[in-house]
Structure 1
């Protein structure tokens, strides 16, 4: 069977090309991806920043929802038409990290959609062990946000956020917004620091408070908010040197800094402040199955207002242009690629229209 796939071929070059879909082997299932989100890692690949890891031509995409089309030999508990998302991780189960129970940071991890073919195609074969069941009533476009929500769930868990704590999220893109919503659902009082007026406005519409670091003295605002105690936890999601400085500066005594963003080069950091206030630095990478299962619940029950976070849905053939739109910034949050071949007439729906539909 010949299908269509979005492929990375070289820096800043994507194409849509035919791909052969072979029957699923033992322990595998074939999926028909419905919606696939474009994330920051996909943009890093598009820029050529991950050429030492990604083998071209590479099919991208790991934030997805879809349905099973075929089940391979030995697969039990799944059948065609089941709605699923995929936890896109394969580990070796033998390295020290795996033996310690941390399979998601396996030394030889295969991140599906980066190290092996991803979901941005009309048919996709994956191990049955990666499947996460979706509720029947959950719209598949909303379900495409389960994977990034699982990232947020893992981050909030790693930071050990507790009810009543004050949390600062530096960076109000999709992951930053999701972290803020998950932390708020855990009972934290949350503030977002974000340069983009569009993203700040969306955060406010979702019931969050957002500050502009270009106009506001964030340290002063935090002081007034916390009665000079400082924040209990900060999440660095911006990936910028200034974001690191802000995240360290806002923390109070024994505050926790959760590093979420991927920083491609070393950053200077104020270690004296870590010493003086006994701060803690926490790394947070990916997720485990329990994070995914909680993310499904949060999206399905409306804690995560998925419809309001989806800025645009484009057909598979327009995915290359969507990457360029995201690269240019502007008034977008999350763009989904419709892999079904039946993209709706509302493919160019902007955020405001999407919010209206959700309301």
Structure 2
């Protein structure tokens, strides 16, 4: 029988924008029915983690908190009735899992529409650590999986760092590509953004059979990686700073018609208006990266006159976590997923890692809380 520790180590945010301290945090002594206690073996960093630490998210964030929402954990304790994951696989002590935010399962969004839009959603990395069960973030040696959180066992062949990435970045892209609908050899897809989501989307659209994929972003190293994931052409924001010139490049690549699908993963509000211009007549515009409170001017008549379909895509439900793991297995020999992992660090280096992300020196860094000395 595994002994549950009284306390665990966690990186705790007590003031926005201030250095994060490593503290001892209480561990729930028992696990409720449907819940799990896990040892966090890897937690990759998301741009949202940085924005949350900065205090710039348009969300109700209550301090102090433990950041981190894309993690993989090894099961330490299993609550009653929690010995099977959300897709019917048996769970045992020592298995690795990824898990969703917690959904109520009873509201209209959960029962009739999209569980990821749950009206009573509890989000990991955004909940005060002063509230039970305390361990609601991945920047900690242990985490608590709530009964309302979907969970999926990680196949043995998938490394910890990639499994961690699957629990947010890749599941969001899988959901977005699914919502975008079919792409085929007759379609040109423009991907706005060369961060982890944009690069992953480049790869999935290429694997889906798009005739041409154009990725717009910076810096050069990320655009090179986008090429390795299947981009047929890249447009550098650094080399082509004028939006009019970028639009001309897209029109040149599409015989003047514009893209059949534009997928926004950049997070910059100004990218929305630019993406609308890049889209051709009757095109689809997929918006994924816009989670902040920024605004941008746009002529809404452009959407009407082009007969555009605008699709918003947010997060993902447990099916997308499972599909993300399947993508990692199925495309392991086609897409260089490991190239996205820019570094692996002990929990104590969390402040350095966040600084490196702010300076665009990391694509997808990973913290290894369980390896903390």
TM over 0.5: yes
Aligned to 2:146: 127
1:144 maps to 2:164: yes
Instruction: Return the alpha-carbon distance in structure 2 between the equivalents of residues 130 and 279 of structure 1.
Output: 34
Q: How far 1:266 moved relative to its partner?
A: 2.6
Aligned to 1:256: 284
How many pairs are equivalent?
341
How do residues 146-185 of structure 1 correspond to structure 2 at under 5 angstroms?
146-147=166-167, 148-164=169-185, 165-185=187-207
1:221 to 249, 252, 256: 249
Instruction: Spell out, residue by residue over 1:325-355, the C-alpha distance to the aligned partner (whole angstroms, 9 max, x if none).
Output: 111223x211100112268xxxxxxxxxxxx
Aligned to 1:312: 343
Aligned to 1:199: 222
How do residues 1-359 of structure 1 correspond to structure 2 at under 5 angstroms?
1=5, 2-13=7-18, 14-22=20-28, 23-50=30-57, 53-77=60-84, 78-87=91-100, 89-115=101-127, 117-127=136-146, 129-147=149-167, 148-164=169-185, 165-188=187-210, 189-208=212-231, 209-216=233-240, 217-261=245-289, 262-301=291-330, 302=332, 303-330=334-361, 332-341=362-371
SS at match of 1:254: strand
Q: What TM-score, normalized by structure 2, do the two folds share?
A: 0.86
Q: How far 1:220 moved relative to its partner?
A: 2.2
SS at match of 1:109: coil
CA RMSD of aligned residues (A): 1.9
Q: How far 1:304 moved relative to its partner?
A: 4.6
The question of whether the paired residues in 1 share the 8 Å contact of 2:340 and 2:363 is answered with yes
Instruction: Name the CA shift for 1:76/1:264 in 2 (closer, same or farther; >3 Å).
Output: same
Instruction: Return the alpha-carbon distance in structure 1 between the equivalents of residues 58 and 21 of structure 2.
Output: 17
Instruction: Return the alpha-carbon distance in structure 2 between the equivalents of residues 279 and 111 of structure 1.
Output: 32
Q: Unaligned stretches of 5+ in structure 2?
A: 85-90, 129-135
The question of whether the paired residues in 2 share the 8 Å contact of 1:254 and 1:280 is answered with yes
Instruction: Return the alpha-carbon distance in structure 1 between the equivalents of residues 299 and 236 of structure 2.
Output: 22
